[in-house]
Structure 1
Amino acid sequence: MSSALLRVEGLTAGYGAAPVLHDVNLTVQPGEIVAVLGANGAGKTTLLRTLSGLVRSSRGQVVFDGADLKSTKVERMVRRGIAHVPEGRGVVTELTVDENLRLGGLWRRDQADAKRALDEVYELFPALAQRRASAGHQLSGGERQMLALGRALVGRPRLLLLDEPSLGLAPKITAQIMALLRDLQKNTGLAVLLVEQNVRSALSIADEGVVLALGRVVTRNKASALRDDADLRHAYLGF
C-alpha cells in the first residue's frame, strides 16, 4: 500500500552466494505491530538484519516512508527513524546503564529532546532508573532486555525492528515487555516488526502476522486469524 511506513517487495538476501530470503513481500503500516513467525532457520533474523542494512540484499526493494533504502548506511537508517534491537540484546557490558542509554541519543541534534527521551525511558523502566550507575554485566537478563529496548527508544524511532525480545526470559518479564510494546504503539504510534519464537505472546499483541518457512512468506493475515487457523499453527508455528 502506498500509505505503508515500510514496504518490502521481492526481497532476496543471504550470506555470500547462499540466499536465505526468497522474494519476500510485506508491509508495516504506521503504528502497526507485525509479528514475523516461523521455525528456527526460517530467515526471521536475516530479514531484520537486511532491513537494517547489516545484510545486503541481492534483489528486491525496501522502502521506508517513501524512500528507497537500497545501499543506505546503517547510521543513516537510524537517522531516518529505524531502530534495530538484535537478538542477544547487544548491551555494552562495560558501560553503565546511563551510558548505554545515552549512546542511543548521541547522534541526535536536538540534545534537549534527547534528554527528555532519556527521562521518559527511565519512567518506562523504573528498574533501570534504580540501576543507572550499574554496569551492563551486573544486570539480569530481563534488565538487559529493557536496557537494549530503552536505548533504541531514546532515538525516538518510528519503526522498531525487534528480534526475540523474550529469549531466555521468565514468562512474567516476557509479559511485561509485550505489554510495554502494546502501550508504546497506542501512546506514541510506534510501529514494530517483531520476530519472536514465543508465538502466543507475539500474536497476543500483534495486529498482523507474517509466517516464514525456508525464507519464503507462507502466509500473512490478521493475528486473530493466525491464532484460529489450527492447520497453519500445527504446520508452521508449533502449537
Structure 2
Amino acid sequence: MLELRELVVAYGAVRALDGVSLTAAKGGITAVLGANGAGKTTLLRAVSGLVRPRSGEVLLDGRDIGRLPAEEITRLGVAHVPESGGVIIELTVEENLRLGGLWRRENAALRRQISEIYDLFPPLRVRQGRVAATLSGGERQMLALGRALVSRPRLLLMDEPSLGLAPRVAAQIMAVLRRQRDEQGLTVVLVEQNARSALSVADHAVVLSLGSVAAEIAQGEAIDDRLRHAYLGF
C-alpha cells in the first residue's frame, strides 16, 4: 500500500531522511525502529503531509502523495497519531472522537464508529463526558488511537504509542493494532523505540539510523547480536 522511494527530507542543512526506501504491505504492520534522531518521526510526517520532501516519492497505492496537502492525504484514508497522541485536552472524550469523523457526512455511521471505539476501549465509554485533561496517559493514548480509527483509515501511522505507558497498557494498545490488522485489514506503520513491543506485532520491520535504512527484519527472523546491540537496545 505504501512505498517510499529514495526519500530525502531536510531541515535546513540537516538531512533527517537521506534516501530512505521502504514498503509497507497492505493489511500488515510495518515497524520502524531506531534510536532518537534516527528519522522515524520525520518519516511519518512526510507520509501524512506535515513536512515536504526535498526529493524522492511517497506512493500510496502507486500514487505519489508527497506534495499533497495534509488534509487531502487524510481524505485518501491516511490517519496519523503523533507522539503523545495529540488529543485536545479541553474537549470531552466524545468530542475528541467526533473530530475523527468530522469530514464525514453520515451521522449514523459516525455514531456506530464511536460505539465501536467504546467497545474496543471500555474506559473511554465510562469517561465519555469528561474532558480529556482528566484522563490518564494510557487513556489519552486510547483516545488518540480511537479518534484515528473513527475516520476508518486505510493506512494508520502510529508514532511511539507505548511511550511513557505502563507495560500492561502498552500491551493493550499493541493488541488493538493486531486486532485491527486481522479483523479490518488495516495497514499500520508503527514507529517505536521499544523494539521488543513492536516486533511482537509486526509483520516486517525497518531499522533507521541517522536518516538511512540500516537493516530490515522479516517476521520471525532471528536478530543477530550486532543489530540488537547497535540499534535495538536489547
* TM-score normalised by L of structure 2: 0.97
State the distance in 2 between where 1:177 and 1:193 align: 14
Q: Could you tell me whether the CA contact under 8 Å between 2:121 and 2:142 is conserved in 1?
A: yes
Give the aligned residue type for 1:234.
H
The one-character-per-residue Cα deviations of 1:64-102 (angstroms, maximum 9, x if unpaired) are: 022210321111111100000000110100000000000
State the distance in 1 between where 2:178 and 2:100 align: 21
SS of aligned partner of 1:107: coil
State the distance in 1 between where 2:24 and 2:111 align: 29
Give the aligned residue type for 1:71.
R
Give the aligned residue type for 1:220.
E
Q: Could you tell me whether the CA contact under 8 Å between 1:15 and 1:55 is conserved in 2?
A: no
Give the aligned residue type for 1:230.
D
Residue 117 of structure 1: how far off its partner (Å): 1.1
Is 1:186–2:182 an aligned residue pair?
yes
- 2:96 — aligned with what? 100
SS of aligned partner of 1:123: helix
SS of aligned partner of 2:97: helix
Which of the numbers 19, 22, 32 marks the counterpart of 1:23?
Answer: 19
State the distance in 1 between where 2:66 and 2:178 align: 30
Q: Could you tell me whether the CA contact under 8 Å between 2:46 and 2:66 is conserved in 1?
A: no
SS of aligned partner of 1:14: strand
State the distance in 1 between where 2:141 and 2:44 align: 17
Give the aligned residue type for 2:220.
S
Is 1:236–2:231 an aligned residue pair?
yes
Q: Could you tell me whether the CA contact under 8 Å between 2:158 and 2:191 is conserved in 1?
A: yes
Unpaired stretches in structure 1, ≥5 consecutive residues: none
State the distance in 2 between where 1:236 and 1:197 align: 10
State the distance in 2 between where 1:224 and 1:236 align: 18
- 1:171 — aligned with what? 167
Which of the numbers 200, 208, 220 marks the counterpart of 2:196?
Answer: 200
Which of the numbers 113, 125, 140 marks the counterpart of 1:144?
Answer: 140
Which of the numbers 72, 75, 78 marks the counterpart of 1:76?
Answer: 72
Aligned-residue identity in percent: 59
Q: Could you tell me whether the CA contact under 8 Å between 1:160 and 1:193 is conserved in 2?
A: yes
Residue 228 of structure 1: how far off its partner (Å): 2.9
SS of aligned partner of 1:23: strand
Give the aligned residue type for 1:160.
L
Q: Could you tell me whether the CA contact under 8 Å between 2:28 and 2:186 is conserved in 1?
A: yes
Q: How many equivalent residue pairs?
A: 234
Q: Could you tell me whether the CA contact under 8 Å between 1:97 and 1:135 is conserved in 2?
A: yes
- 2:213 — aligned with what? 217
* TM-score normalised by L of structure 1: 0.95
Residue 190 of structure 1: how far off its partner (Å): 0.5
Unpaired stretches in structure 2, ≥5 consecutive residues: none
* Greater alpha carbon shift after TM alignment, 7-16 vs 204-213: 7-16
